[in-house]
Chains A and B, each alone.
Chain A
Amino acid sequence: MTRRLRTPDDRRFDLLVNIFLLTVLAVTLIPLLYVVTVSVTPLGRSASLLLPAWDWSFNAYAELLKQPAILRAGLNSVLITVSGVLISMILTVCTAYPLSRPDLPGRKFLTGVILFTFLFNAGLIPLYLVVRDLHLLNTYWALLLHGAVSVYNLFVMKNFFQNLPDSLEEAAKIDGASELQVLWHIVLPLSRPILLTIGLFYAVTQWNSFFEPILFLSNRDMMPLPVVLRDILTGLNSADYVESAATTTAPPEGLKMAAVVLTTIPMLLIYPWIQRYFTSGTLSGGVKE
């Protein structure tokens, strides 16, 4: 795709394009960079965009990580994310696979039943009442179950299953494999890219969920990291998370930004994976790996 630059006009065009890209890069990265530098700026120093490496202070992180409330919230988040992804994936795969079989009687009707819930939403209160009537309020089940299946992810997965070659499944069935065996031994191993992509999407959603815990949980000890982060950022109940100002050796802004970074780190760790699978899946039009 390397096109030769011929005329001055073309060269000017190229310059503008790259300037725009650099602008996007700067606009995206500068705020994130600034959050990190504020978090490592020592007490009494005013934060700047770039800090000399020998002037970093990790006191804010040390102080946050000393707080049992924050460690507990982090643990809660991990627990919720891992079990949430497991439940979501099991439900999504088990629903997507039968719906992807073209010879299943009633497939159209069942797909319609599911599609309708995607188009029409009764709203927050009726769902809240269901969770309440099931006595799931103030339990993690509320978080794990209320949004366990995403219709969008379900349909993406169904389409992927549909595009797998039928011959393999037929061969396995002739050999006497049950539906479950076909799914487990043939379909799932072939579906690794889509399973990873959708699993990561579910993980991101659970890790980021913040309103649902506020809605469904009232026990503060059960709250995940994002809720605690909001409390720290707005200064609500912050005495629970940070020792009184007199003993702290980190600036209050630094503590807030360190909490932001701590909540972001897991996301940054899995980001290269999401990135890779997502781009390979969407941009090259489903190139087989």
Chain B
Amino acid sequence: MNQQVLSPPRPKAAPRPRTTLLARMWRHRGLYLLLLPGLLWFVVFRYWPLWNAQLAFKDFQPTLGVEGSPWVGFKHFTAFFESFYFSQLMTNTLIISGAKLLLGLPPAILLALCIHESTRRHLARFTQTVSYLPHFLSWVIVFGVLLAMLSPSTGLVNRGLEAAGLEPISFLTDPAKFRSVVIFSDIWKETGWSAILFLAALIGINPALYEAAEVDGASRLQRVRHISLPGMLDVIVLVTLLRLGHILDAGFGQIFVLYSLPVYSVADVIDTWVYRQGIQNFQFSLATAVGLFKGLIGLLMILTANRVARRFSGQGLY
């Protein structure tokens, strides 16, 4: 405090603030010491991988290591862009991710509205509690639930189809059905969780608006249309932008658990392909190049999304 008062108005010119800064840092040495383990962790587990990403421009040779391997320029990138995989992976990634976004948003918005509007508070609260339980279940557990529902011989859905005199469907191994399973299981798992943000927005709306509308004779539906929905709009746009920023993340864990050889052609996304090429086929450089490509597009998308969000609603994601 004292030093701040004494320091001249333009601290840049004088040599004195330097010592002040050092003194201030020394005064906070305890805090820096506290920061040390965390920063070390970020250096090792987040920045060292960034350094390793140079492999994307090299031909990795195990005996030479990351630094010793020879540079090859953009060879792996062009190989990937020209390969048959490129369009397949991009198509699968964008379709799965885009459908989750487009089809997942309306149920979440509707659920938040219904929880907010219901006059049966116990039902509303109970539904809310139950609806975000699946978010906390791992994809392996959801895989088990899906087997119980969809398995061709014993699944509940297929036994229903059978009872109706229809042929059973092997949802998890049929390429025509697999993407739907991925998309709808994601909606089943995450709708309640995504509704939380919308609900928070609804709770933030000034109750006087509803009262005024009621006095003016607005019906419940009209109040939803003219007060609740506009009140949620900012959050809806923000959530959409945030998800657009992650459009290349189609849900690695989910697809990794659910997919199998027969459905690779429709299920394989960038992340699963990187895993198979890199870890299973030891194509470290190629897989790194594809991962880096995804990271760069992701960065670009997030920065753009954030800028748009700021312009639109005055608040960014970070």
Contacts and interface: CB of A to CB of B under 8 A. Distances in A.
B237 interface: no
Contacts of A105: 21, 24-25, 28
A53 to B, nearest CB: 20
Interface in A153-171: 155
Contacts of B47: 117
A38 B144 CA distance: 11
Nearest to A267: B136
A263 B143 CA distance: 12
B30 A122 contact: no
Interface residues of A, number: 97
A19 to B, nearest CB: 9
Contacts, number: 276
User: Main SS of chain B's interface residues?
Assistant: helix
B252 interface: yes
Contacts of B315: none
Contacts of A90: 37
Interface residues of B, number: 97
A21 B124 contact: yes
A278 B200 CA distance: 12
Contacts of A260: 141, 144-145, 148
A28 B123 contact: no
Given A105-B24, A119-B299, A264-B141, A22 B221 contact: no
Given A25-B130, A179-B34, A274-B136, A123 B144 contact: no
Given A18-B120, A124-B278, A126-B291, A98 B34 contact: yes
B244 interface: no
Contacts of B257: 210, 230
Interface of B: 21, 24-25, 28, 30-32, 34-35, 37-39, 41-42, 44-53, 55, 66, 110-111, 113-115, 117-121, 123-124, 126-134, 136-141, 143-145, 147-149, 151, 154, 156, 188, 191-192, 196, 199-200, 203-204, 214, 219-221, 252-253, 256-257, 271, 274-275, 278-279, 284, 287-288, 290-292, 294-296, 298-299, 302-303, 318
